[in-house]
Amino acid sequence: MQIDCYGFEATSQFFRRKELDAHLMKRIDGILYVCFGNEAERPIHRLDKDEHGSVRLMWAYGKWEDAESLRYVPINQTMEIKEPEE
């Protein structure tokens, strides 16, 4: 399933149209991680600086405790994830 950086599915009326408020934030080694929602797996944004000192905003989808090791993509890209099992 295709989702945006806030976890809205491509079939949702909110896909790439709505922003959410942050649920939790943490700073590790100068990198700020921000999550949205409290599900086991959730959208996580990462703010850091590139080699030129510009702030870079990336996002990933996964477990909050794994925030440092997730695969991040640019904030304006969508991501394909596996649908949750019921």
DSSP string, the chain: -EE-TT--BTTSTTTTT-----SEEEEETTEEEEE-S-SSEEEEEEEEE-TTS-EEEEEEEEEGGGGGGS--EETT--EE-PPPP-
Report whether pLDDT(84) > 70. no
Q: Residue 40's pLDDT is what?
A: 93
Distance separating alpha carbons of residues 68 and 10, to the nearest angstrom: 26
* pLDDT (tens digit per residue) in 64-78: 999 999 999 999 999
pLDDT at residue 29 in the model: 94
Euclidean distance between CA atoms 58 and 80, whole angstroms: 15
The pLDDT value recorded for residue 86 is: 62
pLDDT per residue as tens digits for the range 7-46 = 999 999 999 999 999 999 999 999 999 999 999 999 999 9
